Amino acid sequence: MKADIHPEYHKDAKINCACGNVITVGSTVPEIHIELCSNCHPFYTGKKVLVDTEGRVEKFQAKQKAKKEQVQTKKQKAEKRAAAREEKKKAKQADLIVEA
């Protein structure tokens, strides 16, 4: 290994949260400042709140519904085309029988 290329390791590095919680860990940085930790994060504290800004959930559900309807109409169009092809074949066969 090359000498003097690795950062200095601090066994007692401190992580300071905005809520006042201090955690001691090992790091290459002696002190770290963070905004959220497991003591104050809404997911871990159980204070998680779903914020629906401007009906985003309803917008998403409407998009999903429209997409589902669009897929159904595509299937219906494909079925209609297949039925038209079958009728064409039957008509063509009937013409061949009449001519013979």
In a domain, 53, yes or no: yes
Residue 4 lies in a domain: no
Could you read off the pLDDT of 54-91 as tens digits, one per residue?
778 888 889 998 888 877 787 888 888 899 999 888 88
Residue 56 falls inside a structural domain: yes
pLDDT of 69: 81
Cα–Cα distance measured from residue 60 to residue 22, given in angstroms and rounded to the nearest whole number: 40
H helix or E strand, kind and range, residue 3: none
User: For position 26, which CATH number holds?
Assistant: 4.10.80.400
Please say whether the beta carbons of 56 and 37 come within 8 A.
no
Question: Is 3 part of a structural domain of the chain?
Answer: no
By residue range, what is the domain housing residue 63? Answer: 10-99
The tokens describing 15, both together, are 């992580």
Note the pLDDT of residue 32: 95
Q: Write the DSSP symbol of residue 39.
A: T
| Domain total in the chain | 1
User: Is 54 a domain residue?
Assistant: yes
Res. 93: pLDDT tops 70: yes
